[in-house]
Structure 1
Amino acid sequence: MVFVRKVKTASGATAVQIVEKRHGVRRIVAHVGSAHDDAELAVLIASARDRIHAGQQALDLDAPATGGAAGAVVTGSASEVLWNVLCDAYRRLGFDQLADEVFRALVLARIVEPTSTSAAVGVLDELGVVAPHRNTFTAALRRCSDKDYRAVLAAACTVASRVGAASLVLYDVTTLHFEVEHEDTLRKVGMSKERRVDPQIQVGLLVDPSGFPLEVRCFEGNKAETTTLLPVLEDFRKRHDVKDMVVVADAGMLSASNLNALEDNGFSFIVGSRISKAPYDLAAHVERHGNAFDDGQVLESRRDMGTGKAKRSRRVVYQYRFARHKHDDRAINAMVDRAEKVAAGTRPLKKDRFVRIASTGTEVDWGLVERARQLAGLKGYVTNLAESTMDGHKVVAAYHDLWQVEASFRMAKSDLRARPIFHRERDAIEAHLTVVFAALAVSRHLQDAAGVTIKKLVTALRPLRTVRVDVGGHPITAAPQITSGARAILDRLPTITAPGH
């Protein structure tokens, strides 16, 4: 038999224990805690009974020593600390101007536990928040599309990030696939970053240098990445009246026509350069100094990009890093090893680099190997910014901030689970991306303020339950005991007062 026992301690507190009695011998299974007043005692007893009989909330126990009335009944509990933190961040970002509490509930529930719209009801119930019916959520998603919530959210994000008239923004594209058999006007088979053959959509994300989201845009799954950049930038400029904007993007956005289009539309850019052009760009340096570079050294050159009337001279910045050289050397050695095995006939030919097919069979292309070793440690960047506007070191530093976009994409795809998407129509898919966009903004805002990942923040604050107890006919609200880890997080957040302060 297992039961709850109350024992007076030497300090005058009441210890609550879970005790097992077997063959006349009593054994303490767990010490739940010590109470110093009726409210704490009621909460500890409720916790103990819940551990013995999961889900049983009504407690038919003797009254506490200080009272002579009936027992204690837990009437409810909620993760109020976590919910208040999320609501406060949502308000600080200015998202509450939407005046749609149902949409807010969808966004914040996704941060706590990403799931489908219908399952979000259960997430809110577990948090102790009044949850709308799933049909109410569906109506909120329709409002999200009809009233263009994303425009309001993007405007608020721009204000929160303090992006000025002349700003640096980062852009990247990812794909979200659907496990369906047939394509439609939006979900199409295209170049997949996950090497899948399912219909997909392209999602372009624009962020500030800290990774805070500014704009999200959905494109057809078979649309080329290079053609997604200009529409997003034009939408952003039109929406926020940003005039002088420098966009940073990876090498996948690099094409002469694409860069010309950016420049013709008044945008400055920094994009990754294909390193295969380095020997020609740096010929003068190699002629004078050979392949000797200092760690962190930055070199510049000019290169004609495009053909005919579209040809333009571009500034190219290169940086050499010793650590990158070692990494590149290891990769080259591994590829040479595979190429030698192919040439020796001990390994089948696949898509192996450094393998040349000659009339006598396969052989290692040592000329290509030597050229790759000359490029080891170098990375290039193309920009239309003048050196007087941004020197080479700043160009390199700006490009390196692109990891912030990748971090935001990882958060959206893992922590916030942007997919699977349980929608088929374009408006519903767009509304889903708007919810993810808002959740990403709140998450990045809280991460920056608290100094921990959103996952750690939720894990630390979610167990802090505020319990409402009826003790002898008197309603009592018992605040949770704040752990040291949770206290450290709460102390870093602005305008949040932890219970017990």
Structure 2
Amino acid sequence: MARTTQAMHVARTKSRRVNKAGETVEYESVLLRRSFRQDGKVKHETLANLSALPEPAIEAVRGALAGNPAVFSAEGLEVVRSLPHGHVAAVAAQAKALGMPALLGRAGRMRDIAVALVIARVCRPASKLATTRWWTDTTLAEDLGVADATTDEVYAAMDWLAGRQEALEKALASRHLSEEANPDRLALFDLSSSWVTGHKCPLAARGYSRDGKKGLEQIEYGLLTDPHGRPVSVRVVPGNTADPTAFEDLAADFKTRYRLGEMVMVGDRGMITSARIEQLKELGGLGWVTALRAPAIMALAAENGPLQMSLFDQTDLAEISHPDYPGERLIACRNPALAAERARKRGELLTATETELVKITAAAEAGRLQDAGKIGLRAGKVIGRYKMEKHYRLTITETSFTFARDEEQIAAEAALDGIYIIRTTIQDTHMDAARVVATYKSLANVERDFRSIKAIDLQLRPVHHYTETRVRAHVFICMLAAYLTWHLRKAWAPLTFTDEHRPEPENPVAPAARSTAAQTKASRRTTADGQPAYSFRSLLDHLGTLTRNRLHVNGTGKNAGFDLVTTPTPIQRQAFELIGQPIPTTIGGK
């Protein structure tokens, strides 16, 4: 994309508007502009609005740009303030392009604060108090008029936003889950959890912590996305809710709330269990793509079962059937890379377990460890730590301890290494086996969203709020920020290490691979056109160096000044071009 920068100039533009009295009023704006040629066309970029300056000062600026230092010199200007602008302007421009401010509701104080909270969560995730301090040092607070927002107003805006959640998510569901936008009628769903500070939140409870924060209270939340991982809806449930129960409740809620007539839910085998599938059948209209658990796979692999290793002699996937799964398709897959990894891991765990069990045997023989109960307790801790209970036969007496591997059981498990079976209601006339496998593996998209929301980009955790409404609002703000981040990451892929053209694997069971271009970009740390490659976060930081400066003309009135955006770097300019937006002098919201 050829682009040639030209000199700045002062332009006068006139416009006519009809006021409330019905009179036509003519307005004149004096703009500082930079012209450039792009794709053979001359375009203009507004850098500042000089309308507030007195006429002599405007003429002085015009003369200075014409190269007449006698008319105007550097001593005649004073930079009053400089504020980071590029990062918040880019995120705000993306939000406006997606129609997010309008989706939130009518223009007003609460909406402005809510929009500022979402943009700030993308640019600089922090607590609400830290956010209100940070945004005053950028153009975000000044342009949205929230620089004077108090903590109470921020909390009030969160309460207001929580009341708008259902309407906004309905709009997103209509946009991304409708039959026109999503002809395969697929929706990805997964659950995660984050720990909570304090002990007053009614949603906080002790449960299985995916953050590894054992003993701390947490909340659990379910994220619904389209097939590409674009966030559509999020729901918060108490932290001690079991995954299958949470899935059942939230699936019913999504179906009713968003009027999903025919939708296929994609979830992992720990969430969409056989019991949950029976309940989905009762709901009606919801199909599923999930996987079988290990006991069910072993049952199918029995001597006379349909799952035989000969199925994988020529291919890595095969369709089978069984009376226990009427009306469903079973697609058996074998991933050699996964098989090798599981064999390696099992061997390491067996070795680590036996190292500790040998110590217990020696202690018992030396008389340092006596009593069957104590010996059993210590041995139980070891095999429980490495989850190797099923692979050993233990013999415990009051004065001795011996162990032996259960080779038959180990061999039976090893025979199924790398094998998983997908079960689905999608008919083969609608989707072949390879696409079903790819659909199940697309759960990686929603897992990527969780990583972005929880740690990498948006830092949802820990949760500092105490009331149900504000906890839900906090998670909802993070989801909206993830929605913006999803689109920004996609648009800015040419500038970042993101793989722009990930190849479709010939074998859907094989691990995903990066394109050659992405590997080259990662190794050289440069983009295809030789520019430095950025991470998403470092690109935002670079955009933040694009500042807006308040200039005052000496010798004029107190308010006789104008704002001037610094000349963007090639990367900054390209970042705005990739989202299809000009570099704005101010952040607007419609």
Same fold (TM over 0.5): yes
How far is 1:324 from its partner?
Answer: 1.3
Q: Deviations over 1:425-484 (max 9, x none)?
A: 111111112211211111112112222464244122111112122243473543223223
Could you tell me how far apart the structure 1 residues matched to 2:270 and 2:436 are?
A: 18
User: Once the 2 structures are TM-superposed, how far is the Cα of residue 255 of structure 1 from its aligned partner?
Assistant: 2.5
Residue 339 of structure 2: aligned partner? 325
Report the CA distance shift for 1:139/1:287 in structure 2 as closer, same or farther (over 3 A). Answer: closer
Q: Structure 2: 5+ residue runs without aligned partners?
A: 1-68, 362-378, 497-534, 586-590
Match of 1:176 in 2: 194
Q: Does 1:488 align with 2:574?
A: yes
In structure 2, distance between residues paired with 1:422 and 1:242: 34
Deviates more, 1:320-329 or 1:243-252: 320-329
How far apart are 1:424 and its partner, in Å? 0.6
- 1:380-395 matches, cutoff 5 A: 380-395=421-436
Q: Of 420, 436, 458, which residue of structure 2 is paired with 1:379?
A: 420
Where does 1:144-223 land on structure 2 (aligned, <5 Å)? 144-145=161-162, 148-161=163-176, 163-164=178-179, 167-180=185-198, 182=199, 185-195=202-212, 196-223=214-241
Residue 350 in 1 paired to residue 383 in 2?
A: yes
TM-score (norm 2): 0.67
User: 1:270-309 maps to which residues of 2 (within 5 A)?
Assistant: 270-283=289-302, 290=310, 293-294=313-314, 296-302=316-322, 304=324
Do 2:307 and 2:320's aligned partners in 1 also have CA atoms closer than 8 Å? Answer: no
Question: When the two structures are superposed, what TM-score results if normalisation uses the length of structure 1?
Answer: 0.78
Q: Percent identity?
A: 23
- The 1:288/1:151 distance shift into structure 2, 3 A limit, reads closer
Q: Deviations over 1:29-56 (max 9, x none)?
A: xxxxxxxxxxxxxxxxxxxxxxxxxxxx
Checking the alignment, whether the CA contact within 8 Å between 1:342 and 1:362 is kept in structure 2 is no
> Could you say if the C-alpha distance between residues 241 and 92 of structure 1 is closer, same or farther in structure 2, counting changes exceeding 3 Å?
farther
Shift of 1:393: 1.6
Q: What is the CA-CA distance between 1:420 and the residue it aligns to?
A: 2.1
The 1:71–1:365 alpha-carbon spacing in structure 2 relative to 1, beyond 3 Å, is: same
Provide closer, same or farther for how the CA distance between residues 320 and 289 of structure 1 changes in structure 2, counting only shifts above 3 A.
closer
Runs (5+) with no aligned partner, structure 1: 1-63, 306-311
The question of whether the paired residues in 2 share the 8 Å contact of 1:248 and 1:399 is answered with yes
**Cα distance between partner residues in 2 of 1:362 and 1:69:** 86
| Map of 2:101 onto structure 1 | 96
The answer as to whether partners of 1:157 and 1:441 remain within 8 angstroms in 2 is no
Cα 1:162–1:471, aligned 2, differ >3 Å: closer, same or farther? farther
The code of the aligned residue for 1:244 comes to E
Relative contact order higher in (CA < 8 Å, ≥ 6 apart): 2
CA RMSD of aligned residues (A): 2.9
In structure 1, how many angstroms separate the alpha carbons of the residues matched to 2:319 and 2:468?
Answer: 47
Does the alignment pair 1:139 with 2:156?
yes
Question: Greater CA deviation, 466-475 or 279-288?
Answer: 279-288
Pairwise CA distance, 1:144: 2.0
Alignment partner of 1:268 is 2:301: no
Q: What is the Cα deviation at residue 232 of structure 1?
A: 2.4
SS in 1 for 2:129: coil
Number of residue-to-residue matches in the alignment: 428
- Equivalent residue letter for 1:324: L
Whole-angstrom distance in 1 between the partners of 2:135 and 2:354: 59
Shift of 1:69: 8.5
Match of residue 462 from structure 1? 544
Q: Helix, strand or coil: the match of 2:383?
A: coil
1:217 deviates by 0.4
